[in-house]
Amino acid sequence: MCGIVGYIGKQKAAPLIIEGLKRLEYRGYDSAGVVVLEDGAFNVAKKIGRVANLEGEAARHHFHGTFGMGHTRWATHGGVTDANAHPHVSSDGQIALIHNGVIENYATIKKFLLGRGFTFKSETDTEVLCNLIAYHYAKEPPAAEGDSRFVESVRKALHHAEGTYGIVVMALAVPGELVTARKGSPLILGIGDGESLVASDVAAIVSRTQNVVYLKDGEIAHLRAKDFSITTVASGEAAAHVIDKVNWSIADAELGAYAHFMEKEIFEQPVALENAMRGRFAEDGSTAQFGGLNITANEFRGIERFMFCACGTALHACMVTEHLIERFARMPVECDYASEFRYRNTPLYRNTLFFVKSQSGETIDTLAALREAKRKGYKVLAVVNVVGSTIAREADGGIYQHVGPEVGVASTKAFTSQLLIGAMLALYIGRMRDLSFGDGVQIVNALKGAPDLVRRVLQQAPHIRAIARRYAHYTDMLFLGRLSLFPIALEGALKLKEISYIHAEGYPAAEMKHGPIALVSEKCPSVFLVPNGDIVNKIISSMQEIKARKGPVIAIASESVELPAGLADEVIRIPECHDAVLPIVAAVPVQLLSYYIAVERGCDVDKPRNLAKSVTVE
Ligand code: M6R
């Protein structure tokens, strides 16, 4: 959840590192720090708060060296203080370390080190690991050629570290070299022209190079400006690697004319949907096709049920997919929070196909669910946005979302593209079973029309903004929907609470009278999702129940729905559309409403408090 950037080259390191940290700030933003090895010493600056604070602090340090590393922290062990910020330097002054993850046995290691004269300035597990590396470094005999004891001391320390880590290490005696290793926390090497970089996210280094190596769990890399080598943490044997090319540029991760990344990403959705569906419809126009599933049509036909796991917004996308697979393919589907699945002993039937969804491809709970399902012998497919991410690599096959970098902590374009891919998957599975050619063609045409329908909803942004102004002062809100729009109600509530800090709950509209109705008063508005369909009158009845209790009502209703006069205080219209597309179209107004309410309240939309873009700790 923290951000890592390291640089070795000819340029001044600190400005490059700080620039990279700014691009990673969305991953965690409690504090930030940078270290440059210059004039035979570690020059360290660290500061709580945003990277901008670090920039101010850095100015006083007069950094000039060409080799260093930096970190943005999302606190796990120890409060948000300058002392707890990374980098940490060992008490003998020899080793500097930045770290993402959690060293679970830090207390035992700390006790061991205290007994050997090491001292500690912070409350962090990272400082413990830093001193453990220093301990091994001091013990390791100098090598005949080069200073391989640097790598060896990191390797030895990691043999004793339990938990997760993505680390970058510098040694005072070894300028111009970085050692980096991972277990459960992403790290990417950037292979530049006469310079090497390392980062926890491509966004931090893509301005300098598009040639990257995705480090794998259990690997340790040794970087110099002009070369690098990768070995295994366990045995020190050379590890094979490939140099990949990043298929997006720095411009894709820039704000442009928008005020926030969330706003930009909401408005990018029509194009994101076009990219997610490109080349993925079969020639006969009646079904979808996917390149990377790594499962034959015959194997697919043998599947009898599906299990979906994910977290947060991605789980809401799974719930919509569940609905559509049941509908188009008439097959049983189960969805679970990845964090629960990993510890539950869920009985899985033999012919179950397991799916995970994750924008980042790094969410630790989703990754753990994937591993648990694989361990039990199931094939796991993944819907992932970030190419080369851990989940993408560990899954047996899958579907990339192709929506480009999503920077806003609140997921938007990744969500709607997951909805789209879920609908395509339901269509694909349905067409292998009983869904007719004609129904397939209808769904394909509907999905192809989704980007334009979303464009139409986006044109209502000024109207939604005006509503947001009238509702921004409330402290509680309900989001109510049914069937495939129940997960959209959950998503609306999640969006609102994460970026505006308004307490919000998502509920199936009819379930509301079994509890949440107690919250309803003139102080608690309800947002209703009202598509035209078999049960539209039931939803209207639920709205009447709210109105009878003086609850303000915002209706997000299909164009053809006739709402009784005076029932809704505000109405946002969405175009008529096929059920496969409805959740996508209905998601956009709840995103806009939450966004504008948060802006109205003066919230830091792209960096909401306590959150991080990708949650890589349990
Ligand atoms: O990267 P992932 O899709 O695995 O992330 C899962 C959740 O952490 C994420 O969707 C989270 O709920 C977002 N902040 C929602 O906007």
Does ligand 1 come within 6 angstroms of the Cβ of 498? yes
Does ligand 1 come within 6 angstroms of the Cβ of 411? yes
The residue among 211, 234, 250 that closes a domain is 250
Same domain, 44 and 105: yes
- What does pLDDT average to in each consecutive run of 10 residues of the chain (618 residues)? 91 95 78 94 93 90 96 83 93 96 94 96 94 94 68 96 95 95 93 96 91 94 95 94 86 86 97 97 96 88 95 98 97 96 86 96 95 94 93 95 92 98 97 95 98 98 98 97 97 97 95 88 96 92 93 97 95 97 98 98 89 75
Same domain, 217 and 281: no
Partners of residue 170 on adjacent β-strands = 96
Same domain, 227 and 362: no
Q: Give the separation between CA 527 and CA 381, rounded to whole angstroms.
A: 34
For residue 163, which phi and psi values (nearest 5 degrees)?
Answer: 125, -150
Local structure of residue 344 (DSSP, 8 states): S
Ligand 1: distance of its center to the CA of 495 in Å? 11
The residue among 229, 250, 271 that closes a domain is 250
Q: Give the separation between CA 166 and CA 152, rounded to whole angstroms.
A: 17
Domain of residue 531, CATH code: 3.40.50.10490
Does ligand 1 come within 6 angstroms of the Cβ of 363? yes
In a domain, 113, yes or no: yes
Handedness of CA 563, 565, 568, 573 (dihedral sign): positive
Whole-structure pTM value: 0.84
Q: Give the separation between CA 256 and CA 430, rounded to whole angstroms.
A: 41
Q: What H or E segment, with its residue span, contains residue 329?
A: helix 312-329
Residue 411 CA: nearest ligand 1 atom is: 16
**Do 427 and 435 form a contact (C-beta atoms < 8 A)?**
yes
Ligand 1: distance of its center to the CA of 418 in Å? 12
Out of 614, 616, 618, give the residue to mutate to test ligand 1, the one with the largest number of ligand atoms within 8 Å of its CB: 614
Long-range contacts of 530-536 (CB under 8 A, 24+ apart): 530/555, 530/556, 530/557, 530/558, 530/561, 530/563, 531/485, 531/557, 531/558, 531/561, 531/574, 531/582, 531/586, 532/558, 532/560, 532/561, 532/576, 533/483, 533/579, 535/482, 535/483, 536/561
Q: Give the separation between CA 523 and CA 413, rounded to whole angstroms.
A: 31
In a domain, 615, yes or no: no
In a domain, 614, yes or no: no
What range defines the domain where residue 510 resides? 458-607
Measure the CA angle with vertex 266, ends 603 and 26; round to 5°.
Answer: 50
**Do 501 and 609 form a contact (C-beta atoms < 8 A)?**
yes
Same domain, 309 and 215: no
**Do 191 and 213 form a contact (C-beta atoms < 8 A)?**
yes
What would the DSSP string read from start to end of 575-594? Answer: ----TTTHHHHHHHHHHHHH
Same domain, 420 and 551: no
Q: Give the separation between CA 552 and CA 570, rounded to whole angstroms.
A: 9
Does ligand 1 come within 6 angstroms of the Cβ of 401? no
Does ligand 1 come within 6 angstroms of the Cβ of 311? yes
Q: Give the separation between CA 568 and CA 3, rounded to whole angstroms.
A: 45
Partners of residue 507 on adjacent β-strands = 480
Across 577-606, b (16+ Cβ under 10 Å) vs e yields bbbbbbbbbbbbbbbbbbbbbbbbeebebb
**Do 46 and 79 form a contact (C-beta atoms < 8 A)?**
no
The separation between the first and the last C-alpha atoms of the chain, rounded to the nearest angstrom, is 11
In a domain, 7, yes or no: yes
Does ligand 1 come within 6 angstroms of the Cβ of 407? no
Ligand 1: distance of its center to the CA of 414 in Å? 9
Q: What is the pLDDT of residue 28?
A: 63
In this structure, how many other beta carbons lie within 10 angstroms of the beta carbon of residue 129? 29
Out of 319, 358, 359, give the residue to mutate to test ligand 1, the one with the largest number of ligand atoms within 8 Å of its CB: 359
Ligand 1: distance of its center to the CA of 498 in Å? 11
In a domain, 64, yes or no: yes
Same domain, 353 and 482: no
In this structure, how many other beta carbons lie within 10 angstroms of the beta carbon of residue 410? 28
**Total domains in the fold of the chain:** 3
Q: Give the separation between CA 493 and CA 563, rounded to whole angstroms.
A: 23
**Do 467 and 572 form a contact (C-beta atoms < 8 A)?**
yes
What would the DSSP string read from start to end of 185-245? Answer: S--EEEE-SS-EEEESSGGGTTTT-SEEEEPPTTEEEEE-SS-EEEEETTT--B-----EE
CA nearest 605: which of 411, 332, 325?
411
Q: Give the separation between CA 612 and CA 26, rounded to whole angstroms.
A: 6
Handedness of CA 42, 48, 51, 55 (dihedral sign): negative
Q: What is the pLDDT of residue 185?
A: 87
Across 520-540, b (16+ Cβ under 10 Å) vs e yields beeebbbbbbbbebeebeebb
Extract the tokens encoding 103.
């060293």
Q: Give the separation between CA 516 and CA 532, rounded to whole angstroms.
A: 24
Is 156 a known active-site residue? no
**Do 579 and 484 form a contact (C-beta atoms < 8 A)?**
yes
The residue among 448, 473, 500 that closes a domain is 448
Same domain, 264 and 174: no
Q: Give the separation between CA 548 and CA 557, rounded to whole angstroms.
A: 20
For residue 385, which phi and psi values (nearest 5 degrees)?
Answer: -95, -45
In a domain, 237, yes or no: yes
Contacts of 552 (CB under 8 A, 6+ apart): 471, 522, 524, 525, 526, 569
Domain of residue 133, CATH code: 3.60.20.10
Partners of residue 554 on adjacent β-strands = 527, 570
Same domain, 202 and 76: yes
Same domain, 245 and 370: no
Partners of residue 319 on adjacent β-strands = none
In a domain, 42, yes or no: yes
In a domain, 161, yes or no: yes
Extract the tokens encoding 159.
């043999």
Same domain, 306 and 226: no
Residue with tokens 């009983």: 434
Partners of residue 177 on adjacent β-strands = none
Q: Give the separation between CA 137 and CA 212, rounded to whole angstroms.
A: 29
Same domain, 351 and 428: yes
Extract the tokens encoding 80.
């948000």
Q: What is the pLDDT of residue 610?
A: 78
What length does the chain have? Answer: 618
CA nearest 70: which of 201, 217, 218, 209?
201
Out of 46, 264, 547, 613, the active site residue is 613
Q: What is the pLDDT of residue 612?
A: 74
Residue 611 CA: nearest ligand 1 atom is: 14
Helix-helix angle 450-458:582-600, to 10 degrees: 30
Same domain, 263 and 235: no
Ligand 1: distance of its center to the CA of 36 in Å? 33
Is 524 a known active-site residue? no
